Structure 1
Amino acid sequence: MVSGPFIVAQPAEKVSTWKGFEKIDFTFENRNAWFVKPQKAIAGNPWVWRAHFPTWHTEMDSILLSRGFHIAYINTNDMFAHPKAMQVWDAFYDYLVNQKHFAPKVALEGVSRGGLYVYGWAKRNPDKVSCIYAEAPVCDPKSWPGGKGKGPGSEKDWAAWLKLFNLSEEEAAKFTDIPLNDLAGLAAFKVPIIHVIGLKDKHVPAEENSDLLVKNYMQLGGPISVYPMTRGEQEMEGHHFPIEHPEYFANFIEQHSVPVQKPLAHKPYIQVNKGLGNAFDKFKKEKKGTVAFLGGSITHNPGWRDKTAQYLKEHFPDTDFTFIAAGIPSLGSTPHAFRFTRDVLAKGTPDLLFLEAAVNDRGNGFSEKAQIRGLEGILRHLYAANPKANVVLMAFAEPMKNTDYENGKEPLEVAVHERVAKHYGAAYINLAKEVYDRIAAGEFSWKYDFKDLHPSPYGQEVYFQTIKELIKTDSGTVTDAITLPAALDKFSYEKGSYHEITESKNLKGFSVNPDWKPADKTPTRPGFVNVPMLVGEQPNASLDLEFKGRGVGIAIISGPDAGKITYTIDGKKSQPLDLFTPWSNQLHLPWYLMLGDELSPGKHKLHLTIANDKNEKSTGNACRIVYFLVNE
């Protein structure tokens, strides 16, 4: 189990009065902060978090305080919602929620440039936001303070913004970390938003700010509305205006904040074990770090991986990171073990490895033995290259695992991931169980929210937020270089690697196609098309491979015409093998097959022949080999 976030002890609090309510002032991370307490708090302590200009238009705050809300603020006003400000906000949130027992979901209130803050933080934490109230919000710094559109901007503030973000004018024009972008996660969580604007605002023109954000958010399915303020004196060229009916907006916040929702905590699904301290220590001291992401399509696709990489850069802002994206769709633990050298180590030696295989190991039917050999083979291979590396094993969700949990059964793949993680002291996150439990608790549905084993933006956020919790709460304890324990399985693929197809001999009916691509229109996977392949398409085609090691296999492409083979190792009994898979009619699928993985160390010879018969669903007899697999 993981311990709670590390919170620096705060200096003594000062108590004063604000509009008849008790106000608590204190210093948090060397910044002024405060919160105001209601006379009688609503159960669960709902709260409003003000960003910038906390004393502007406080009528709504007074109403909410009288109804039992807390109001909070921390001064990061000189930071323009820079990622460093977002780290302060993360820590302030953790302090108020964990130490002061504020509600897990907060209503964000952003005025003018405060829009940069509320959207910057909300996009990074959509699961922690009940709703957003934004008043004449800046949604694009190029509009304000940049003045690149209709508004005059602020030359002084624009210069400060450019300096803070370390951008040139040309780079600023392409800068994307602004409220207008990356709203998919927020929309997926259906966070309600209301913008209050002045129609004649010349400083933060609505057409360059609110209008664009409203359009973007609504197109993503997010609930959002706009209330133009047209009554009363319009000052500062329309940027300042009276708030009509503040009770209406207080009702909006109360409606979406009460009763207080208390989502399940992330911590029960995290096992820190030996933690991430070695990697964190290097990130801090050497200012360099290599982080690899090894997995299938859930790792390959945009989502949690990108968010995790971005968060690491923000959490360690002085570190120069190398990120290795080694996700390939359809592949599980056995393929990962044999491609680890080429796809990871050849690009850098990881200080931190994120590893997942539970979904594809289930779908591809790998046995418990094969899963252990693959996963621990990867870890042992990594520790041989970097004995101080840290690893995070993750078991992702999919419908069959939900069914297992529904029937009171722990999915095999989840158990294997946990067992391997514990044996080697790697951190472990059971996201499969977390997703199931959250669905069972009524937080969301699989059908409309998570949607698929390839998660929707909602699901990607669920994964990322738990990974983020591990990164935030790990104590960072540095440990000695690992002394490898005895292997769980002596035949683990710790020395697995690809061997080139050109190592084959005595080719009869096989030939090398230097740039294979399918003759049909059946889809392919990246890295397994327009590459050299050893191709045989007729019965009785054969080849030999001499190798040295304890295991041998083939990485093939299994498409609509995949055939059957027979093979023998060292002249022993011939074994049949069908290369056709349940997915072969839909995809030229990368498919990894171990032909023998409990051999004695030393030299061996594989003889492979295309069989005369074929699967009844196949259209041919093809055997297309991309790599030979050898575990030395």
Structure 2
Amino acid sequence: MKLIKNTFLLLFTLFISFAHAQEAEKIRVACIGNSITFGYGIKDRIKNAYPAQLQRMLGDNYEVKNFGISGRTLLSKGNSPYITTGAYKQALDYNPNIILIKLGTNDSKAFNWVYKDEFNSDYVKLIKTFQSLESKPTIYLCKAAPVYKRGRKISADIVEKEINPRIEAIAKSQNLEIIDLFTPMLGKGDLFPDAIHPNGEGAGELAKLVYTALTGKEAVLVDQNFPGKKTDWKGFTKYTFEYNNKEAFVLEPKKALAGKPWVWRARFPWWHTEMDEILLEEGYHIAYINTDNQFGSPKAVKAWDSFYKYLIRSHDFSKKVALEGVSRGGLFVYNWAKKNPELVSCIYTEAPVIDFKSWPGGYGTGIGSEKNWNILKKEYGFKSDAEAKKYANSPMDNLEVLAKAKIPVMHMISLTDSVVPPKENTFPFINKYLELGGNATVITCTEGKQTLHGHHFPIETPQIGADFIIYNTKKETTSLNSSVYHKLRAGLQNSKIKFEREKTGRVAFLGGSITFNGGWRDSITDYLKAKFPETKFEFIAAGVPSTGSTPAAFRMEQDVFKDGPIDLLFEEAAVNDGTNGRTKEEQIRAMEGIVRHARYLNPATDIVIMHFVDPGKMKSYRNGIIPDVIQNHEKVAAHYNIPTINLAKEVTDRIDAGEFSWAKDFKNLHPSPFGQGIYAHSMLSLLEMAWTRPIAEDDKIGSYPLPDPLDQLNYDKGELVDIHTAKLSGNWHIVENWKPEDGKATRPNYVDVPLLVGDEINKGKATFTFTGNTVGIAVVAGPDSGTIEYRIDGGDWQTLDLLTNWSRSLHLPWFFTLASGLEHTKHKLQIKIAENIDPSKRIGNACRIRYFYINK
């Protein structure tokens, strides 16, 4: 027996030695470079930066490390020299066998290239530092990739005509191999979205060029769904990779469920994996990041925040995750969940540490761990045991946030556990959680062999744990993609640059009642404040119920631009323009006027036009007809290259696909909170898509071109004019603080304000003198509205009925355009009260004017 045991030990030792030898035989490749090497702007740079794609092509006999740092120069006097970075020092310590140097692009900036005479000597110095390494590496110099836009800080001409020839000369003088990343990439500008940085496909092309240079073989890209090393794990695929210098992995199901639900394991990911296997079979992903010796500290939670964002942004994981914590993993899952309750579907734990004073502190009946206690204190920054014991944000504390979010929890425990005693951890936690209104389940595991003082025990019912997670995961049906209903056109990059660089932003919301009401507008403002946390925003809510594009065009100066130009403007008018009977000409003139007016004041203004839904538009789409108003607004948007969101078509299609209903979910024209959420989701996805590309260092805010107008009579210089400028006679008078006496509803800014009033037939006139090509009146059209006669410049009198379809129950704002296409000279408008049309159906003769409006 002893001989067998010794033989086994010998074989095991030989196996370990062989494994280490195999590891040591890997050829180490260091990729030195700037943002192109780093993978700047690539959605999943960890998987698709050129070094990562090169690693997959080279295979397991190579180890490729990315030491790229954005914005770095080769020049030691450049604004950001590579040799001063930690990445450079790490590359030296790596002692690589092969070194790929791709620097020079940032040196082309004018303020760097003034030191061009030192470029060659600085490059040679860099080469010498690597040549002095013990590994005696083979060094390849890479020519810089093309720059696809001239006139930027990074100079296309200097890169092509000065930097790359110098790199070739250096390679020749130092007897080094050179890899041409310039010539083969010419004519491939579509792979460089910002003209400088390649996308994932472009990085793959660079990787192929490098692979062929290293091996002499034809390059074939190796794609996979996640970064890192791909291995088999119990019949499923495991991807192991490094994320922010921490080991991480993802287990991939054979067929993922819609919405990509996932489970996030904390600590001991190899322990009790039966439940994970069940969930993988069901279509769940399993993820893990190694923060093992951080005991759920704030630093660990921050690392988890970053990893979470990576998985949902780069791999579209569900925004809600099921957390799984074993032993001290309880500290991780509960601390992260308390910070992010809205992101957690449920929490499953086994023998969880809830109170670190119990373990590893040992300040209770259980078996503590002095070693781990000291590590924990250092990790949390505690200077003494007393300070640690006073800590008031352990999982046991501040549970209200989880209970309020109704996050269900399940604990699997052993009653004999004396390492993490349930009486000091699970029981007080669960009791407190229940008292706060939380949902909790405890399962005691009493069967089978229990070891490590009862802390290690078999899970009798892994299916129950899996069912708990499945039950509490919101089932997501395959839903339509909002991007189908978006036309991004010229995009919204100006506003992103303004918000990120200048840290200020003015955002306006212009439209009718759906814009006036809260809901989607609040979601946009919250999103912007979260995405640009350092930016000081001013939000202008310029929605006025019952109004469409014509009122908006004349309200621009007063309601939108009163305090300055706008960086980002959201405009909606499709519902009211359609239902209020505006003609095709009016719809185009008004929407075009809004666009041109905004860009007169700020040529860089980003604009988004939105088409909201109503039953009429749904009926049109179901009959295969695009509503006229949407065609008209789209004509303007296309002419000015402005993004649009067709929410009318999106909501119709989603209802027809069975995602929700109009009557039960969306409710009506003014959406329910659910409907507001549908609107907001689509808008936010447009913003995410528009702002996917990172800002390059030399990106600038640009002025949008202003083409010839579609309609020369558009309202591009519209303004409201004070009623006090009118000359009055007879019964016409101004009520300085008007309010109705009939108890009917009103609209903001059209009640408790000055109104010009006439209400007696043929008793005087209101005369308004103006200069412009368009004139109209903004009235309060209530139940007692009458009929007016008006004329321009002494012409024929024309009759206008002020009673609208909605006036009988509401004093609503209404804009009547009285004349358009006038000569741009001085004109005189006269108004008088006329005999009522069909007086049997009338209750009054009133004309109440809030503003005159003109197009100057």
Normalization by structure 2: what TM-score? 0.59
Alignment partner of 1:534 out of 720, 744, 756: 756
- In 2, the alpha carbon distance for the partners of 1:545 and 1:158 equals 74
Alignment of 1:437-516 (within 5 A): 437-474=653-690, 475=693, 480-516=702-738
Instruction: Confirm or deny: 8 A CA contact 2:732 2:756 kept in the other structure.
Output: yes
- Residue 834 of structure 2 corresponds to residue 607 of structure 1: no
Alignment of 1:107-146 (within 5 A): 108-109=322-323, 111-116=333-338, 119-121=341-343, 132-135=345-348
Residue 608 of structure 1: CA displacement? Answer: 0.4
SS of aligned partner of 1:599? strand
Per-residue CA distance 1:194-238 (angstroms, 9 max, x = gap) = 444799434893257554xxxxxxxxxxxxxx34326469xxxxx
Residue 159 of structure 1: CA displacement? Answer: 11
- In 2, the alpha carbon distance for the partners of 1:492 and 1:292 equals 21
Counterparts in 2 of 1:584 and 1:444: CA distance versus 1, 3 Å: same
Alignment partner of 1:543 out of 757, 763, 766: 766
Give the match for residue 277 of structure 1: 493
Instruction: Confirm or deny: 8 A CA contact 1:109 1:118 kept in the other structure.
Output: no
Q: Match of 1:93, as an amino acid?
A: I
Residue 85 of structure 1: CA displacement? Answer: 7.8
Instruction: Confirm or deny: 8 A CA contact 1:41 1:68 kept in the other structure.
Output: yes
Counterparts in 2 of 1:256 and 1:363: CA distance versus 1, 3 Å: farther
Counterparts in 2 of 1:32 and 1:344: CA distance versus 1, 3 Å: farther
Give the match for residue 94 of structure 1: 313
Give the match for residue 255 of structure 2: 41
Per-residue CA distance 1:501-551 (angstroms, 9 max, x = gap) = 101103321111111111121011111111111112222242110011011
Q: Match of 2:850, as an amino acid?
A: V
- Residue 599 of structure 2 corresponds to residue 562 of structure 1: no
Alignment of 1:370-389 (within 5 A): 370-389=586-605
Counterparts in 2 of 1:288 and 1:426: CA distance versus 1, 3 Å: same
- In 2, the alpha carbon distance for the partners of 1:535 and 1:529 equals 13
Counterparts in 2 of 1:273 and 1:251: CA distance versus 1, 3 Å: same
Q: Match of 1:436, as an amino acid?
A: T
Per-residue CA distance 1:428-452 (angstroms, 9 max, x = gap) = 1111111111111111111111111
Give the match for residue 848 of structure 2: 624
Residue 26 of structure 1: CA displacement? Answer: 2.5
Give the match for residue 139 of structure 1: none
SS of aligned partner of 1:602? strand
Higher radius of gyration, 1 or 2: 2
- Residue 738 of structure 2 corresponds to residue 523 of structure 1: no
Residue 586 of structure 1: CA displacement? Answer: 1.5
Per-residue CA distance 1:247-288 (angstroms, 9 max, x = gap) = 235235446879973211111111111111111111111111
- In 1, the alpha carbon distance for the partners of 2:629 and 2:429 equals 58
Q: Higher mean Cα deviation, 253-262 or 590-599?
A: 253-262
Give the structure with the larger helix fraction: 2
Residue 74 of structure 1: CA displacement? Answer: 5.8
Give the match for residue 151 of structure 1: none
- In 2, the alpha carbon distance for the partners of 1:351 and 1:180 equals 41
- Residue 821 of structure 2 corresponds to residue 598 of structure 1: yes
- Residue 605 of structure 2 corresponds to residue 393 of structure 1: no
SS of aligned partner of 1:585? helix
SS of aligned partner of 1:201? helix
Residue 33 of structure 1: CA displacement? Answer: 4.1
Per-residue CA distance 1:173-211 (angstroms, 9 max, x = gap) = xx9x96678x8xxxxxxxx97444799434893257554
Alignment of 1:215-294 (within 5 A): 226-229=439-442, 231=444, 245-251=461-467, 253-254=469-470, 261-294=477-510
Alignment of 1:307-318 (within 5 A): 307-318=523-534
Give the match for residue 546 of structure 2: 330
Counterparts in 2 of 1:19 and 1:496: CA distance versus 1, 3 Å: same
**Identity fraction in percent:** 41
- In 2, the alpha carbon distance for the partners of 1:380 and 1:74 equals 51
Counterparts in 2 of 1:229 and 1:19: CA distance versus 1, 3 Å: farther
- In 1, the alpha carbon distance for the partners of 2:502 and 2:407 equals 42
Give the match for residue 189 of structure 1: none
- In 2, the alpha carbon distance for the partners of 1:621 and 1:440 equals 47
Alignment partner of 1:25 out of 233, 240, 252: 240
- In 2, the alpha carbon distance for the partners of 1:609 and 1:15 equals 83
SS of aligned partner of 2:529? helix
- In 2, the alpha carbon distance for the partners of 1:324 and 1:462 equals 22
Q: Match of 2:536, as an amino acid?
A: D
- In 1, the alpha carbon distance for the partners of 2:743 and 2:286 equals 60
Q: Match of 1:371, as an amino acid?
A: Q
Instruction: Confirm or deny: 8 A CA contact 1:289 1:319 kept in the other structure.
Output: yes
Instruction: Confirm or deny: 8 A CA contact 2:236 2:252 kept in the other structure.
Output: yes
Q: Match of 2:666, as an amino acid?
A: F
- Residue 425 of structure 2 corresponds to residue 201 of structure 1: no
Alignment partner of 2:794 out of 542, 552, 571: 571
Alignment partner of 1:347 out of 563, 566, 573: 563
- In 1, the alpha carbon distance for the partners of 2:379 and 2:667 equals 43
- In 2, the alpha carbon distance for the partners of 1:627 and 1:49 equals 60
Residue 322 of structure 1: CA displacement? Answer: 1.4
Instruction: Confirm or deny: 8 A CA contact 1:554 1:595 kept in the other structure.
Output: yes
Q: Match of 1:506, as an amino acid?
A: L
Normalization by structure 1: what TM-score? 0.78
Residue 64 of structure 1: CA displacement? Answer: 0.9
Instruction: Confirm or deny: 8 A CA contact 2:611 2:645 kept in the other structure.
Output: yes
Q: Match of 2:559, as an amino acid?
A: D
Unpaired runs of at least 5, structure 2 = 1-40, 53-226, 325-332, 350-355, 357-375, 383-391, 393-397, 412-424, 447-456
Counterparts in 2 of 1:412 and 1:246: CA distance versus 1, 3 Å: farther
- In 1, the alpha carbon distance for the partners of 2:834 and 2:378 equals 77
SS of aligned partner of 2:428? coil
Alignment of 1:394-409 (within 5 A): 394-409=610-625
Residue 388 of structure 1: CA displacement? Answer: 0.9
Unpaired runs of at least 5, structure 1 = 123-131, 137-143, 145-153, 161-168, 170-174, 184-191, 212-225, 234-240
Counterparts in 2 of 1:429 and 1:342: CA distance versus 1, 3 Å: same
Counterparts in 2 of 1:464 and 1:606: CA distance versus 1, 3 Å: same
Per-residue CA distance 1:397-448 (angstroms, 9 max, x = gap) = 1111100101111011211222211111211111111111111111111111
SS of aligned partner of 1:307? helix
Superposed CA RMSD in Å reads 3.8
Residue 5 of structure 1: CA displacement? Answer: 8.5
Residue 50 of structure 1: CA displacement? Answer: 2.2
SS of aligned partner of 2:635? helix
- In 1, the alpha carbon distance for the partners of 2:602 and 2:302 equals 31
Instruction: Confirm or deny: 8 A CA contact 2:722 2:852 kept in the other structure.
Output: yes
Instruction: Confirm or deny: 8 A CA contact 1:107 1:253 kept in the other structure.
Output: no
